Amino acid sequence: MTLRVLTAPLLAALCASCVSYHAGALPNEPQDGAFANVRGARVHYVDEGPEGAPAVVLVHGFASSLGVWAGIRPVLRERFRVLSLDLKGFGYTDRPAPTSDHDYSADEQARIVLELMEARGIESAAVVAHSYGSSVALAMALQAPDKVTRIALYDAWVYPEQLPTTFHWARASGLGEIIFGAFYDQRSEDKIALAFYDPEIIPQALIDVVEEQVSRPGTKAAALAAVRAMRYEAQAARYREIQQDTLLLWGREDAVTLLEFGERLSNELPNARLSVFPRCGHFPMIEAAVPSTRELVAFLSVVAAAPSTSSSGSVARDSDSITDSDSDSVSDSDSVPDSDSDSATNATRGGW
């Protein structure tokens, strides 16, 4: 008993020392990447597409990056100005220590996206988000409804009931540091497989990219801070206030964000429509690339043709941008990826 009492604080202290933040540039940043200082964070972004076109903002999910949109960005940038970014704590955006004014909550992430839009001269935009990023998109609509024209959400993570037990445990001081310090960067292959209906389409290169991303300085601390800030009760109580037309795209076999939450959200958002894709897990943009991208483009194309930007969108592209070889993933007739396996490959090229 005495040994157990002595060991627990020691283990917590050791794990806490492995969970530290990192402000500033990260290793192996893309040389031509674009960065902006927004609300105390050095934000990595890509701004592309036709000058004066309606704007679309892409918001990735938890433990992800703007690379997850690699299969979609070539399609969207043909007709929209597309702003994609790495949220604070993820991708190549840095991982500064949270403060009382600048934490890792969905509300704060939403403020970062809105201020980046303003800095880039984007007056309003349709917002497309995946998983955890959906809580950021809905926070944007609640904070600044005049800035958000339409909303499209892939497998949204927006309710307190969606949080796994380990996320609740992680709220406890010391225990969270143990969990994330010891396990966050472990078994990436198994974690990724759980998010797919067909794990066979996952290339080894994607697993390698994810393992590299979670090893970047400050990642464990930032992920823990984001988890501790996932307190969705107050936000979820306001979803019925959101009036924007909303498209919900959901994988029927998603084991991460169950379909029942998509059905619930479609009932609570006044102007939402739910589209479900069979034989598909947490990433419809990859496993159901053709039908989901077609639906997304059709939904976004309803946006008014009036310009929503005051500066050119063809400003910044970095190494996450699609290369010439990726153009093979876009169908000439449908302007959607040729196959789901191509989308998985594109996600790898884009950095996930």
- Kindly report, residue by residue over 138-165, the tens digit of the pLDDT: 999 999 999 999 999 999 999 999 999 9
pLDDT digits over 186-231, tens only?
988 999 999 999 999 998 888 888 899 999 999 999 999 999 999 9
Distance CA 66, CA 152 (A): 16
Q: Which CATH number among 3.40.50.1820, 3.20.20.70, 3.40.50.2300, 3.90.79.10 corresponds to the domain 30-350?
A: 3.40.50.1820
pLDDT tops 50 at residue 335: no
Q: In what order do the strands lie in the sheet with 34-38?
A: 34-38, 41-48, 81-85, 55-59, 125-130, 148-154, 246-251, 272-277
Residues in contact with 323: Cβ distance below 8 Å, sequence separation at least 6, in sequence order: 349
Other CB atoms within 10 A of residue 14 CB? 13
pLDDT digits over 11-63, tens only?
554 455 569 999 999 999 987 679 999 999 999 999 999 989 999 999 999 99
* Joined tokens for residue 253: 């076999």
3-class SS of residue 288: coil
Q: Residue 203 has what pLDDT?
A: 82
Q: Residue 205 has what pLDDT?
A: 82
Confidence of residue 245 (pLDDT cuts 50, 70, 90): very high
Q: Residue 348 has what pLDDT?
A: 44
Distance CA 352, CA 347 (A): 5
Q: Residue 328 has what pLDDT?
A: 34
Domain ranges of the chain: 30-350
Q: Residue 30 has what pLDDT?
A: 87
pTM of the model: 0.85
Asked whether the beta carbons of 112 and 39 are under 8 A apart, the reply is: yes
